[in-house]
Chain A
Amino acid sequence: MSSPPVLEPAGPAGPCDAEDGRRFPALRAILAERSTRFGLVLVGLVVLSALLAPVAAALTGHGPDQQFRAEALTTEGLPVGPNAEFLLGADGNGRDVLVRTLYGARISLLVGIPATTLALVAGTAVGLVAGFFPGAADRVLSFGTDIALSFPFVVTALSLVALNRGADGRPVIDPVLLVILVISLFAWTYFARLTRGLVVVLRNRPFVEAALTIGVSRRRLLVREILPNVLPVVAVYWAVQLPANILAEATLSFLGVGVQAPTASWGNMIAEAQRTSLYQVQPWFLLAPAIAMFVTVLGFNAIGSGIRNVLDPQR
């Protein structure tokens, strides 16, 4: 396998460039990319709905965990479909699906963004050290990365969550925090491998050797010369990894070990719809969180591929 490409600042970088494009030619080129714009619109929608979830709750008068058994359930106890009061219908407990889906966006972003960022920081640090110090440090860290990669995600996550029960049966730490930690525990390895590959290439570049001959310390070399060349690539990978981690949160919540009911998460909403089979009478119970998740993942993936289109010289 070839090592990942070292990204160069792209774009038409002639000395004749316009003033605004002088410092960030790459950024301008990224924004000009169609898929980035498309992704930004979708992600903007998701962020907006997460922010405006309380507004929706206030307008409809339905709290996210509030049950309206009288209005939202039929006499047989089945949820009602979309109507003027409940725009996307209700779930099995008589809660507003629309409001819960909007609140679910908050959980997705609240878990996905910190988890991916934590993984980025940890993975980049490990990758920098492993790539820069050949020999024992590299061997130990690379081996550790391989071991971490070889753990099955779901099984490990399930057992970790099982451990998170105190004597009274209540969780020791906040489940949301735990989900963030579990996801980043698995996601950092990808960042570590990517960064290590980049650093191994950069380490032998003449500009690194030139810095050495000036007498630059190794720490300064890592931070000032190598890190700035790694960060853009890692940032792109953040956008690529984020939707995967949002899905991971949904997976854990779906399996009942992530975000706990009654807090709304797309994962546990889908799980509930599937478990109760109520999507057969009220399809929006399933469709609303599924479509929301689809839009979020599509948006971030579009942004990621747009950035890659511009920065990756091998395309």
Chain B
Amino acid sequence: MALFSVEDLSVTFRRRGRVTAAVRGVSFAVEPGRTLAIVGESGSGKSVSLLAATGLLPETAEVRGSARFREADLLRLPRARLRAVRGRHIGFVFQDPLSNLHPLKTIGAQIGEAITAHERVGRAALRRRVIDLLAEVGIDDPERRIDDHPHRFSGGMRQRAMIAMAIALRPELIIADEPTTALDVTVQAAILRLLRRLQERYGTALILVSHDLAVVSEIADDVAVMRGGEIVETAPIAEITTAPGHPYTRELLGAARRGAALADVAEPPAAAPREARPLLAATGLHMAYRRRGRKDPVTALTGVSLEVREGEIVGLVGESGSGKSTLGRIVAGLLRPTAGTVALRDEVYNAPGRGPLRLRRDLRTAIQVVFQDPYGSLNPRRTVAATLAEPYVVNTGLTAAEIRERVEALVRRVELPPAVLHRFPAQLSGGQRQRVAIARAVALRPALVVADEPLSALDITTQAQIVALIRRLRAELGTSFLFISHDLGVVAELCERVVVLRRGRVVEAGPVRRVFHDPQHPYTRELLDSIPGRVARV
């Protein structure tokens, strides 16, 4: 008998007279001690169906079907009874631990609230229980950390605190909605291990929502694949990974295999013409930020040197806070280092100094950037055509007709339909926006593109498409890329060489094959071990 079973669930939203069906006839079930993973791209309805099943959607949503939790249909339960079930019997872990924690309350108070909302507990006993919970989710020194505010916790610790809240009352079911998407790979692996350990200890049922099949394959027993508001396939994980039934599952699996297929990076790097002098040479870069009201500066980079050859894709890998974005911004000429130089074809263009950096026109256009956030990197008030025309308008004396021609060619080059030209960024998907950003970067045929986490805001299937696009652009235009990422799987697939950055220092650098097969530094090994999908397979 399933602990939690959803049958024929449908959700429609009504907004300004328009009706959209978000979920259509979805059924799934999970048993005690088992893990069900719901996998699909964003907008496929995976979060909505769980929110609907637990009565967390706003009034504008119309929910039909049934969601049985131990004989009670949650969709027909009165609000008060439903609240008693949620929290006590069903625990929740959400994607973004920062926005789900109250910034002005201590961690301890917030976890305590999860308990006192359902039980009457004495003050001392409550504190004891919260400390035990924090210790259980692996927070060091819980007696002291219980009185910290969320901003003193790292992303991974915040997610641990959220998990502590979810398990506070030993619920029979935990619903985790993209619990590791906002986290670094090493932290992600630790959180997944924690969830699995807790589940084994207490026999909890777990529903895990993710867009990444590789993440899911670490701990799931069964997988439901969702697309366009419907479940296209439900099967045990072994069956999904070995004999996927639906073509979309195969696509997801293909995208997820990247990380697992590290052993197969046997293909030698595309024979780039070896030249004596590198395209880009950064030498001895130091970067220190002054903090307001503090004497001691924060050091972001220490003695970093880096080379990129013509037509080469170099991966820059590290956790958040390792200084990789700072390095990218210095290379892009958006930031001055406090020591060291950056040179393009032997010409130094970035060195310490005062005021914003001014670059010669030909140097400025030779180095372009693709940013992480496809929502922020396009001006929301300008059409795609206007955004893509800008490089030509500013740097060339072409006529309007010639520019239009080039913009159209550019759009074709990044495989976008011509119709997007007259749209605003808000009318594009994340993948389309990132294509536009890439098109803008390659418009003037730069020698080097700094791509700062260009994939991390995208779905895994879209990621695979953008990787293919970058590879094709390199082949066609001979552009070099400095590819900044925390995702080793992507780096292994795309790059020839990799530089591993940790706390502002280069700990390892070399050809991807050598670094991934024979990592010298323990940190590189840790990163490699954290790649999702490896545990299940090895």
Residues on A lying within 8 angstroms of B by beta carbon are 8-9, 12-15, 17, 22, 29, 32, 205-207, 209-217, 220, 224-225, 228-229
Give the distance in Å from the alpha carbon of A8 to the alpha carbon of B427 in the complex.
12
Give the distance in Å from the alpha carbon of A29 to the alpha carbon of B361 in the complex.
43
Within 8 A of A (CB), among B393-423: 394-395, 422-423
Do B390 and A216 have beta carbons less than 8 Å apart? yes
The smallest beta-carbon distance between B290 and chain A, in angstroms, is 14
- The answer to whether A214 and B390 touch (CB under 8 A), given A15-B427, A17-B427, A209-B369, is yes
Do A214 and B379 have beta carbons less than 8 Å apart? no
Task: Report B-chain residues with C-beta under 8 Å of the C-beta of A210.
Answer: 369, 371, 377, 437, 440-441
Task: Report A-chain residues with C-beta under 8 Å of the C-beta of B367.
Answer: 213
- The answer to whether A214 and B426 touch (CB under 8 A), given A32-B16, A207-B379, A220-B394, is no
Q: Which single residue of chain B is at the shortest CB-CB distance from A16?
A: B427
Residues on B lying within 8 angstroms of A by beta carbon are 15-16, 18, 332-334, 359, 361, 364-365, 367-369, 371-373, 376-382, 390-391, 394-395, 422-424, 426-428, 437, 440-441, 444
Give the distance in Å from the alpha carbon of A204 to the alpha carbon of B460 in the complex.
28
Q: Which single residue of chain B is at the shortest CB-CB distance from A213?
A: B369
Q: Which single residue of chain A is at the shortest CB-CB distance from B432?
A: A15
The smallest beta-carbon distance between A236 and chain B, in angstroms, is 15
The smallest beta-carbon distance between A121 and chain B, in angstroms, is 19
Do A214 and B365 have beta carbons less than 8 Å apart? yes
The smallest beta-carbon distance between B521 and chain A, in angstroms, is 32
Q: Which single residue of chain A is at the shortest CB-CB distance from B15?
A: A12
Do A229 and B428 have beta carbons less than 8 Å apart? no
The smallest beta-carbon distance between B110 and chain A, in angstroms, is 22
Task: Report A-chain residues with C-beta under 8 Å of the C-beta of B380.
Answer: 8-9, 229
Please indicate which of the listed interface residues A13, A210, A212, A224 has the most CB atoms of chain B within 10 Å of its own CB: A210
Q: Which single residue of chain B is at the shortest CB-CB distance from A228?
A: B381
Do A211 and B371 have beta carbons less than 8 Å apart? no
Do B427 and A205 have beta carbons less than 8 Å apart? no
The smallest beta-carbon distance between A221 and chain B, in angstroms, is 10
20 pairs from A and B in contact (CB 8 Å cutoff): A9-B426, A12-B18, A13-B424, A14-B427, A22-B427, A206-B373, A207-B376, A210-B437, A210-B441, A212-B334, A213-B333, A213-B369, A214-B368, A214-B394, A214-B395, A214-B440, A215-B359, A215-B365, A215-B394, A220-B394
The smallest beta-carbon distance between A84 and chain B, in angstroms, is 49
Task: Report A-chain residues with C-beta under 8 Å of the C-beta of B381.
Answer: 9, 228-229
Partner of B427 from A13, A209, A212 at Cβ < 8 Å = A13
Q: Which single residue of chain A is at the shortest CB-CB distance from B370?
A: A210
The smallest beta-carbon distance between A163 and chain B, in angstroms, is 43
Task: Report B-chain residues with C-beta under 8 Å of the C-beta of A206.
Answer: 371-373, 376-377
The smallest beta-carbon distance between B434 and chain A, in angstroms, is 12
Do A207 and B365 have beta carbons less than 8 Å apart? no
Give the distance in Å from the alpha carbon of A140 to the alpha carbon of B99 in the complex.
37
The smallest beta-carbon distance between B403 and chain A, in angstroms, is 13
Task: Report B-chain residues with C-beta under 8 Å of the C-beta of A215.
Answer: 359, 361, 364-365, 391, 394-395
List 5 tightest A-B contacts by C-beta distance, closest first: A206-B377, A228-B381, A206-B371, A215-B364, A13-B426
Give the distance in Å from the alpha carbon of A209 to the alpha carbon of B334 in the complex.
7
Give the distance in Å from the alpha carbon of A225 to the alpha carbon of B377 in the complex.
11
Task: Report B-chain residues with C-beta under 8 Å of the C-beta of A213.
Answer: 332-334, 364, 367-369
Task: Report A-chain residues with C-beta under 8 Å of the C-beta of B369.
Answer: 209-210, 213
Please indicate which of the listed interface residues A32, A212, A225, A229 has the most CB atoms of chain B within 10 Å of its own CB: A212
Q: Which single residue of chain B is at the shortest CB-CB distance from A232?
A: B381
Task: Report A-chain residues with C-beta under 8 Å of the C-beta of B371.
Answer: 206, 209-210
Q: Which single residue of chain B is at the shortest CB-CB distance from A15?
A: B427
Partner of B379 from A14, A17, A22, A228 at Cβ < 8 Å = A228
The smallest beta-carbon distance between B407 and chain A, in angstroms, is 14
12 further A-B contacts with Cβ under 8 Å, apart from A13-B427, A207-B378, A225-B382, are: A8-B380, A12-B18, A13-B424, A15-B423, A17-B427, A22-B422, A207-B376, A209-B371, A214-B390, A215-B365, A215-B394, A229-B380
Q: Which single residue of chain A is at the shortest CB-CB distance from B332?
A: A213
Task: Report A-chain residues with C-beta under 8 Å of the C-beta of B424.
Answer: 9, 13
Give the distance in Å from the alpha carbon of A212 to the alpha carbon of B359 in the complex.
10
Q: Which single residue of chain B is at the shortest CB-CB distance from A229?
A: B381
Task: Report A-chain residues with C-beta under 8 Å of the C-beta of B364.
Answer: 213-215
The smallest beta-carbon distance between B241 and chain A, in angstroms, is 34
Do B332 and A229 have beta carbons less than 8 Å apart? no
